[in-house]
Structure 1
Amino acid sequence: MRTGGKILIDQLVGEGCRAIFTVPGESFIAALDALFDESAIRTVVCRHEGGAAMMAEATGKLTGEPGVAFVTRAPGATNAASGVYVAHHDATPMVLLVGLVERAHEGRGAFQEIDLQAMFGSVANWVGVARESERIPELVARAFQAARSGRRGPAVLGLPEDVLSATASVEGAAPLQVPAPTPSAAQMTKLKAKLSAAERPLVLLGGGGWSAEAARDIGKFAAAFDLPVAATFRRQDHLDNRHPCYVGHAGIDMDPKLAAAIRGADVLVVVGEGLGDIPTAGYTLVSAPKPAQFLVHAHPSAAEIGRVYRADLPIVTGGEAFAKALSRLKPPAKTRWSRLRRDLRASYERLLKPIPSAGRVRLEEVISTLSRQLPDDAIVTNGAGNYAGFLHRYYQYKGWPTQLAPTSGSMGYGLPAAIAAKLMYPGRPVIVLAGDGCLLMTGQELATAVQYGLPIVIIVANNAMYGTIRMHQEQRYPGRVVATTLVNPDFVAFARSFGAAAARVESTEAFEPALQRALAAKGPALIELRIDPEAISARRTLTQIRGKSP
C-alpha cells in the first residue's frame, strides 16, 4: 500500500523525471512528503509558479523529454499558465501537475477550485484529472505520452488532495511508447528530384524536437548540396551559424535579402516549423493557402501540415529522422544555386558588422563581445523585448543546444530558463540577456538561483521603458508617450540584496572586464547596462522612427 503521493512520485521516476520545479501548496502535501525520500528527483523550490513553469519548459527544450512543474490549485495554476503557453507555442514537451480541492468539494465553488479543462484546454495537448489513486500511474503515463507525441507540447494533470493522501495498492505503469514517424523512400526520392531541378532552393529550420545529431546531419546535407539554410524565429542554434551554408535568421527584422530569397524560392523545404507569420513576414513571403514556391513541409504532426499552407510534398516526420534521411541523399552532379548561397551568406556576414547605436554603452558591441568571448557550448537565454533584436542579429550560435528563447514572445523567460539550463549543464556558461521590463517579470527567481548556488550571468539592458511598445507607439503616434515609461530599482542593489554579485556598466569599454568577473563568480552575477533610450533597435533610433532624423 502506498499513498497517492508516493504512487505519483514513483511513476514520475519511471517516466525519467529528474527534477520538479515547484511552489509548494497544501493541496499536494502528500506528494511533497513522498519527495522527501526520493533521491532520483531533485526538488527545485521556486518563487512564482510562472517561473517554475518556464523552468520546466526550458528543461523540455533542452532534453526533448517533458519538464515537470508542480503547482497548487487556482492561484498556482493560473500563475503557471504563462509557462504552459510558452510550451504550447514553442512545441515543447512539458507536464504540469496541479493539486486540486478534495473530490467531495468538487463543483461547489470551493476555496481555490478551478476547472482545468476550461483553463488549459486550448493550450494543452491533453488535460486530465486523477480521481482515483489507483489510476495515477495510468494517467501520468498518458500525460507524458501526450506531451511527447506529434506536435509536442504541455499536458496538464490535476490531482485532488484526498487522492494524493489516500492509500492504494497498484503497480506502476510502463511509459507509453511514442511512434517516431520517418520519411518514406518515395518521399525522399521525390524531394531529391525537385532539388536537382531547382534553381533557387532554400531550407528553413525551426520547431522543437531537435538534437545535436540532427544539427550535424543538416550541416552535412547542406554542405553536400551547397544549399542555403536559414533558421526561423529563435531557432538559430539548429545549425552552427559559422557553417558556410547558414544564411541568417528568418525572424523579426529579417535581412531583406533573405526575405527576398524566401519569396523567390522555387523549392522551399521547411523542417519542423509550423510556418507562421514571423518567418513569412505576416504571410507575405509565402502566400496562403497555396504558396508560389514548391513547398516541402516536414513536421511531426499531420495536423500541422496543411493547417495554413497546402504543401506540395507533405512529410510527417520528426526533425531528427528527417535530418538523418537528408544526410544520406547524394547531391546532383551540377547545382544552379551556388551563387545564391554565396550571396546570402555574404549578406548574413555583413549584418554581423555592428551598426553604431546611440549612447556610451553600445549593445551591438556588447553582443559581439559575448559572441567572441563565450565558449562554443555557452547557453544564452532571453525573454522578449527590442533588446533581443541585437542578440538575434549579432550573436553567432555555435551548436545545439545553446539558445533558449520563447517563440511565443513571452517576457520574463530568460532568468527561469537560465536556472533550468544551469541545473542541467552545471559545467557550461549560462548567460541571460534581459531588458529592464523583461527581467522584473520574473526577477524574484534570482532568489532561486542564489538558493541553489547557480553561477549564471544576468545582463540587463536598462533603458527605463518598455522598448518594443515604445517603438510601435512612436511609429504610429509620434511623441504621444503613454504607459511605456518605467521607474526601475537600482539593479545592482537589487541583485546584491539577494546575495548575488553585481556591477553597473556605463561605457562599452567597461563591459568585457565586468563580464570576465561575472563569469568567474561562484554564484549568480548581474551586470546592469545603462542603455540610451535612443538606441531603441538594432537598425533605427527613436528619433529616426519619429521621422525626425537629421
Structure 2
Amino acid sequence: AKIDAVFDVLKDKGPELIVCRHEQNAAFMAAAVGRLTGKPGVCLVTSGPGASNLATGLVTANTEGDPVVALAGAVKRADRLKKTHQSMDNAALFQPITKYSAEVEDSNNIPEAVTNAFRAASAGQAGAAFLSFPQDVTAGPATAKPVGTMPTPKMGPAPDEQISAAIAKIHNANLPVVLVGMKGGRPEAAEAVRRLLRKVKLPFVETYQAAGTLSHDLEDQYFGRIGLFRNQPGDILLEKADVVLTIGYDPIEYDPVFWNGKGERSIIHLDEIQADIDHDYQPDIELIGDIAATLDHIEHDSLPVTIDKSLVPVLHQLSKALEEQSRPPKEKKSDLVHPLDIIQELRSLVSDDITVTCDIGSHAIWMSRYFRCYRPLGLLISNGMQTLGVALPWAIAASLVNPGKKVVSVSGDGGFLFSAMELETAVRLKAPIVHLVWNDSTYDMVAFQQEMKYNRTSGVDFGNIDIVKYAESFGAKGLRVNSPDELADVLKQGLDAEGPVLIDIPVDYSDNVHLADQRFPKAFEEQLKKVTSNQS
C-alpha cells in the first residue's frame, strides 16, 4: 500500500503495467528490456520485502551492464526511524549494488530524482538505479513541473593520435586477436566490429555476453566464445596472441588472469569508459570514445593484417578443433539426450531473428560455447553474476519488446523453479515462448565440479517434478522428449504451437567432466604443447 498511489495513476495513463508473480522476476524483466532496447526498463514494487526482493535482480543488472530503474515504496517519513511495519532504509540497502540509490524526501523533488535515476542507469557503464518513495511523499501535494527529456550526450571517436598508435601496434604484431566484450556485442557496436573484421581480417573471440557479433561471412575468422573455464580453442588463440584488442570488454565477463596471467600480451582497450586496471589488465593503449565511431576510424585507416606464417597452421588447427567440439557424438550412451544434440537440433530450427534466453547451469556452459548466434543480442546469457532463474523472465521481456515474435528460453530443472511462477504471467500475456527444461534432478553445474574435486557430491540433488503437468496446470502446453529420436519432432511441435510451451528434455550430462578440464592445469598445457608441436 506504500506505493499504491502510483499504481492507481497507471490505471488511467502512463506506460503499460505488467503484473509479475515475484519482485525479483520483475527486476529481471526490466533488466532484459534494458539490455534489448538500450533504454532503462522499469520495475515498481511495494515496501519492505517488496523492495528487498529486488536485490538479486538489481545486482545482476548492475554487474552485467543492463540499464534498469527500480521504484519502491517506503513507510511515511515520520515512521522512518521507528520500529514499525515494513520500515527499513531502502536507499542504504541498494547503495552498494546499484549505480544510484536515493530516497525522495519531498514531493517536489520527484521529477528531478526520476530524471537523474534514468540518466545514471544509462550513462557510461549502464546498470541499475533505485529510488525509494515514502508513502506521504507520493500522496503529498506537488507544484514542481516535470523535467523534460534530457538527450544522452553523444561521444565522438577516440583521439586520432591514439587510434594511429593502435593501428601501428596491430599491424606490427605477429598474431593480433580481437576479444569482443558485452558492449562490443550491442547492435550499433557489433556492426562496426564486423566491418573492421571484414577489412582487416583479424581472428576474434566473443565473451558470452557478446554472442551475436559473429556473422555468417566471418566464420573463418571466428574461434568461439571464452568464459568460465579456460580450455577452449579461443583460450589457446589468446595464449598465442602478442596483441589483444578488447572491444567493450569488462573483466567481470572473464577474468584477465585466465588469458593474460603472465602479462605477456600487449593490450589495446577500446571502450566508452576507462579500463578497470588490475595486475593482469594494464592496457598499453586506451581508446576511449564511442565504440562504433572509433572502430570505423580504425577500419578506414587500416589494411588487412598479415599473420606470422609460422602461426597460420595453429589457426587452422584451432578452427578445426572448434568445429569438432561442436559435433554431437555419433554413439548414443543412453535414452537421454546429449546436450550437443539439443543444440544442433535447436539451431537448425530457429531463424536468426528469434531471441534465445539462457539460464545458468550446466546447460549454459554448453549453450554458451556451442550455440552459434548471428544477431547481436540474439542469445542472452547471465555472465557477470551467473544468476539462476533469469531465462523465463527474460523471455517474457523479449516477447514484450518484439510483440508477436517467437522466443526460446532454456534452463535446467533447478534454475527453472527459481522463476517458474512467471509461467502464469506468460500465459496471461499469451507470450509466444518455448521454454526448454534440461532435466536431470540435480544442480549439475555444482555436482560435476564437486565430483572433480572430491570424487563425490553434496547438497545438489532434489526431487523430480512433472514438467508437462506443471505447464498444463498454468494453462500452458507441456511436451516431453522421451528418447533422442523424438527430439526433432517435439521441438518442431513446440515451435509451431501458440502461446507458452514447456518442453521437458531428460538430458545426458555424462560428458560434463570435459567442460572443466582446466581445473587440472596440465590439461591446458598439454593442449598448448600439442598445438605448438604440430606447427613444425
Task: Give the structure 1 partner of residue 265 of structure 2.
Answer: 293
Task: Give the structure 1 partner of residue 210 of structure 2.
Answer: 235
More helix by share: 2
Structure 2 CA distance for partners of 1:241 and 1:351, relative to 1, 3 Å: farther
Identity %: 30
Task: Give the structure 2 partner of residue 191 of structure 1.
Answer: 166
Task: Give the structure 1 partner of residue 349 of structure 2.
Answer: 373
Give the Cα separation in 2 of the matches to 1:333 and 1:238: 20
Give the Cα separation in 2 of the matches to 1:78 and 1:432: 26
Task: Give the structure 2 partner of residue 317 of structure 1.
Answer: 289
Range with bigger deviation, 322-331 or 219-228: 322-331
Q: Which of 88, 91, 108 is the matching residue for 2:62? A: 88
Task: Give the structure 2 partner of residue 204 of structure 1.
Answer: 179
Q: Secondary structure at the match of 2:53?
A: helix
Q: Any idea what the Cα deviations from partners look like across 1:6-30, whole Å, max 9, x if unmatched?
A: xxxxxxxxxxxxxxxxxxxx11111
Shift of 1:335: 4.9
Give the Cα separation in 2 of the matches to 1:328 and 1:341: 26
Task: Give the structure 2 partner of residue 65 of structure 1.
Answer: 39
Q: Any idea what the Cα deviations from partners look like across 1:213-247, whole Å, max 9, x if unmatched?
A: 32222112112111011101332223336623221
Structure 2 CA distance for partners of 1:427 and 1:245, relative to 1, 3 Å: farther
Task: Give the structure 1 partner of residue 18 of structure 2.
Answer: 44
Q: Secondary structure at the match of 1:44?
A: coil
Q: Secondary structure at the match of 1:428?
A: coil
Task: Give the structure 2 partner of residue 420 of structure 1.
Answer: 397
After TM superposition, the structure 1 = structure 2 runs for residues 117-266 of structure 1, keeping only pairs within 5 Å, are 117-181=91-155, 182-208=157-183, 210-240=185-215, 243=218, 244-266=220-242
Task: Give the structure 1 partner of residue 527 of structure 2.
Answer: none
Shift of 1:540: 8.4
Structure 2 CA distance for partners of 1:306 and 1:363, relative to 1, 3 Å: closer
Q: Secondary structure at the match of 1:315?
A: strand
Are the counterparts in 1 of residues 70 and 130 from structure 2 also a CA contact under 8 Å? yes
Give the Cα separation in 2 of the matches to 1:143 and 1:459: 36
Range with bigger deviation, 333-342 or 92-101: 333-342
Q: Any idea what the Cα deviations from partners look like across 1:363-405, whole Å, max 9, x if unmatched?
A: 2111101111111111111111011122123211011120111
Range with bigger deviation, 396-405 or 445-454: 396-405
Shift of 1:122: 1.5
Give the Cα separation in 1 of the matches to 2:328 and 2:454: 29
Are the counterparts in 2 of residues 209 and 318 from structure 1 also a CA contact under 8 Å? no
Q: Any idea what the Cα deviations from partners look like across 1:476-527, whole Å, max 9, x if unmatched?
A: 2213x32111102211100110000011112122111111221122210010
Give the Cα separation in 2 of the matches to 1:29 and 1:301: 39
Are the counterparts in 2 of residues 98 and 157 from structure 1 also a CA contact under 8 Å? yes
Give the Cα separation in 2 of the matches to 1:437 and 1:379: 22
Q: Secondary structure at the match of 1:529?
A: strand
Instruction: Give the TM-score taking structure 1 as reference length.
Output: 0.88
After TM superposition, the structure 1 = structure 2 runs for residues 410-489 of structure 1, keeping only pairs within 5 Å, are 410-479=387-456, 481-489=457-465
Q: Secondary structure at the match of 1:224?
A: helix
Task: Give the structure 2 partner of residue 109 of structure 1.
Answer: 83
Give the Cα separation in 1 of the matches to 2:217 and 2:369: 14
Give the Cα separation in 2 of the matches to 1:434 and 1:375: 20
Range with bigger deviation, 218-227 or 332-341: 332-341
Give the Cα separation in 2 of the matches to 1:78 and 1:307: 35
Structure 2 CA distance for partners of 1:423 and 1:217, relative to 1, 3 Å: same
Are the counterparts in 2 of residues 218 and 326 from structure 1 also a CA contact under 8 Å? no
Give the Cα separation in 1 of the matches to 2:111 and 2:356: 36
Give the Cα separation in 1 of the matches to 2:422 and 2:429: 11
Structure 2 CA distance for partners of 1:315 and 1:333, relative to 1, 3 Å: closer
Give the Cα separation in 2 of the matches to 1:105 and 1:119: 17
Q: Secondary structure at the match of 2:301?
A: coil
Structure 2 CA distance for partners of 1:214 and 1:406, relative to 1, 3 Å: same
Structure 2 CA distance for partners of 1:333 and 1:311, relative to 1, 3 Å: closer
Q: Secondary structure at the match of 1:274?
A: coil
Give the Cα separation in 1 of the matches to 2:404 and 2:495: 12
Range with bigger deviation, 511-520 or 498-507: 511-520
Task: Give the structure 2 partner of residue 76 of structure 1.
Answer: 50
Are the counterparts in 2 of residues 51 and 83 from structure 1 also a CA contact under 8 Å? yes
Q: Any idea what the Cα deviations from partners look like across 1:422-448, whole Å, max 9, x if unmatched?
A: 111124321111000010000000010
Give the Cα separation in 2 of the matches to 1:44 and 1:492: 26
Structure 2 CA distance for partners of 1:378 and 1:323, relative to 1, 3 Å: farther
Are the counterparts in 2 of residues 221 and 329 from structure 1 also a CA contact under 8 Å? no
Structure 2 CA distance for partners of 1:277 and 1:303, relative to 1, 3 Å: closer
Task: Give the structure 1 partner of residue 327 of structure 2.
Answer: 353
Shift of 1:276: 3.9
Give the Cα separation in 2 of the matches to 1:266 and 1:54: 39
Shift of 1:75: 0.4
Instruction: Give the TM-score taking structure 2 as reference length.
Output: 0.90
Q: Which amino acid aligns with 2:413?
A: D
Structure 2 CA distance for partners of 1:537 and 1:96, relative to 1, 3 Å: farther
